Amino acid sequence: MRKVGKLVYNFGHLLNLTMRVILAFIIIFITLSSCQTNKNEMVGDKKSSPTMDLQERLNILWLVTEDMGSYIPSFGDSTIVTPNLSRLAKEGVVYPNLFSTSGVCAPSRSAIATGMYPSSIGANHMRTTSYTEVTGLPSYAAVPPPETRMVSELLRINGYYCTNNYKEDYQFEAPKTAWDESSPYAHWRNRKKGQPFFSVMNFTETHESGLFEPYGFREIETRHYHSGDRNYKWKNFRASHANNRMAEEDTQVHLSKETKFNIPPYLPDNEVARRDMWKLYNNIAEMDKQMGSVLKQLEDDGLLEKTIIVFYGDHGGPLPREKRLIYDSGLNTPMIIRFPNKRKAGTKDERLLSFVDIAPTLLSISGIKPPEYMQGHAFLGKYKKSENRNYIHAAADRFDGYTDVIRAVRDKRFKYIRNYKPTQGYYLPIEYRERIPTMKELLRLREEGKLNSEQEQWFRESKPKEELYDCLLDPNELNNLASQPEFEKNMVELRTEMDRWLNSIGDNPNLTEKELITKLWDGNIVQPVTSTPIITSFEGYLKISCATEGASLGYKLVNHGEEISDVWLIYKEPFKIPKESKILILAHRIGYKPSEIVVFEL
């Protein structure tokens, strides 16, 4: 930390008395005007009317699970009973055509957090801060345009209490101003009385690692039963995914192992795959149970009919040839939205939706106009786009230590895939995935020459430059139609759309990752650092600025007894300095390192 005294500051203390009085009046006028403008922009009614009071705005609860294909009853698979998700679907709207922008979590979560395609901001390579010894690249983060803010920060600016429990993983470090709280304790119950909230609850049981041996749930105690209770003492909460597990015999069983499973044709139909399918469905049932605990908390608080509830997965399924690929099995994930008073209950919305649409929609249903930089479009709320989406887009690049370059575009029926490394096979020997028993089984059968033609496709030594699939008649995307003359019209349409999309978002698939880093860092060889905040005090007011364009500015108050606030407040305009207190100040642009913390005190 750097400590600065009041007498150090620049021009404010050189102004004569007359100029200081004039400046004070200007600041007060701007402050009042800004407050009025912000009030009109940020509030909304149940349809986002600009005249509604802050306390009357609807709350928003996100229930986010991981690695989630359409393996639940409300999306056509009745293998496992999910009473809580089924209730949400019965009382809400089912969205079967939501697609992630990548088949893996961190790039997809960057799209959700920013409303921008990962390949447009440098977030498309999975694990940019690790595998540096393998890649020979420095650790780096995605660098969106300077005006970019996480959607949660935009909601905080407009009066919402925003919490995340507890996974982040955005391909960049979240600024301190992004959340009121992001931790195992984060919960709407910690907000001010009557304050509208946006709360994210992440559920980890359905993650790919839930199929690793030995089987068992990731945590004996689940945080969702204790979130919000800061007096609760966690046991082994931050243990690794693979090691903090119960023995298989202690695993809660939600499904008989004798159940008949519908094994996808790209996987072997044998005991190993059936056992993994059993665990997959068992994990979903456990997730549903945990989700029920959160929904009960919402009902106990009397907030069910004052809250929009959104359930979705962070991309498609966890199995081999699902996660990390841009077939529908890796991109398509269920979404259910329950509106207050069961509005539109039991209906289905068939529109094509992309993860880049989630952030602008969240703002729209809160009565906030989405910023122009967002590449997605609101599909609900005051700022809902009038035209429906015709296409969804996706990309696959580096995963851990292995690189590929694939782009995809899909309309309601057909998907076009362009492979920029056709001489390289689809299958990548990713060690993390090879902990799944079915993956080990696929590799064993491959070595023994026992895979059938559908299972062998993934292991081809090369791949076609272009692929086209009829996702309606061929949902597993095994029959490539690209060379068939009767589909030339579809090929031309989707090729053209892909070129338009790549150009519009500035995605150059031929750019190497090393060249990408140079571009993100404006030609520098080290990650940029956010400039130290500039602080000016005058007539009892404090003004904060930063030389780094687009930096978020945050501050904390320190009271008499050196008691520091838990929350970084967002600086929006000059504010009156509290008497006899210190103030901690920080600046952070997404993708840059945060500034040093500066201490201001009278």
- On whether the CB atoms of residues 165 and 203 are closer than 8 A, the answer is no
Q: Which of 35, 105, 162, 471 is catalytic?
A: 105
The CB density around residue 18, as the number of other CB atoms within 10 Å, is 8
How far apart, in Å, are the Cα atoms of 26 and each of 23, 118, 289, 541?
5, 42, 56, 12
Share of the chain above pLDDT 90, in %: 80
Q: What whole-number distance in Å separates Cα of residue 346 and Cα of residue 341?
A: 12
pLDDT digits (tens, 9 = 90+) for 512-568: 999 999 999 999 999 999 999 999 999 999 999 999 999 999 999 987 667 778 899
CA torsion sign for 313, 314, 318, 322 is: positive
Residue 19 scores a pLDDT above 90: no
Q: Strands of 389-475 (E only): list them.
A: 392-399, 402-410, 414-419, 466-470
Whether pLDDT at 260 is above 60: yes
Q: Which two tokens stand for residue 600?
A: 């201001």
> For the segment 287-315, what is each residue's pLDDT rounded down to a tens digit?
999 999 999 999 999 999 999 999 999 99
**How is residue 434 annotated by DSSP?**
G
For residue 285, the tally of other CB atoms under 10 A from its CB is 22
The pLDDT value given to residue 216: 62
3-state helix, strand, coil in the chain (%, to 5): 30, 20, 50
If pLDDT is split at 50, 70 and 90, which confidence band does 451 have? very high
The C-alpha atoms of residue 498 and residue 417 are separated, in whole angstroms, by 9
Q: In this model, does residue 48 exceed pLDDT 50?
A: no
What's the farthest any 2 CA atoms get from each other in the chain?
Answer: 89
- Report the distance separating Cα 364 and Cα 521, nearest Å: 32
Contact 329, 317 (CB under 8 A): yes
Catalytic residue status for 35: no
- Please list, in sequence order, all residues whose beta carbon lies within 8 angstroms of the beta carbon of residue 10, skipping any fewer than 6 positions away: 536
* pLDDT above 70 as % of the chain: 86
Q: Collapse the DSSP code of 93 into the 3-class scheme (helix H, G, I; strand E, B; otherwise coil) and give the result.
A: strand
Q: Are 293 and 87 in contact (CB under 8 A)?
A: no
pLDDT, position 248 = 55
Domain segments of the chain: what residues? 2-42+528-601, 64-387, 396-520
Q: For the residues 157-163, what does the mean pLDDT come to?
A: 98
Q: What is the pLDDT of residue 556?
A: 94
Residue 375 in contact with residue 505, Cβ under 8 Å?
yes
Write down the pLDDT at residue 293. 94
Supply the pLDDT for residue 228: 84
Please say if the pLDDT value at position 602 is more than 90. Answer: no
Is it the case that residue 455 has pLDDT exceeding 80? yes
Mean pLDDT of all residues belonging to the chain:
89
CATH number of 64-387: 3.40.720.10
pTM: 0.90
Mean pLDDT over 38-49 rounds to 34
- The DSSP code for 136 is -
| pLDDT given at position 5 | 44
pLDDT score at 26: 40
Q: Where are the beta strands (DSSP E) in 15-103?
A: 59-65, 93-95, 98-99
Q: Name which of 222-231, 378-387, 525-534 the model is least confident about.
A: 222-231
List 537's β-bridge partners, or say none.
Answer: 542
Contact 106, 127 (CB under 8 A): yes
Are the C-beta atoms of residues 458 and 266 closer than 8 Å to each other?
A: yes
Topology of domain 2-42+528-601, CATH:
Immunoglobulin-like (2.60.40)
For the cut 90, the answer to whether the pLDDT of residue 486 exceeds it is yes
Instruction: Please compute the mean of the pLDDT values over residues 33-58 and round it to a whole number.
Output: 45
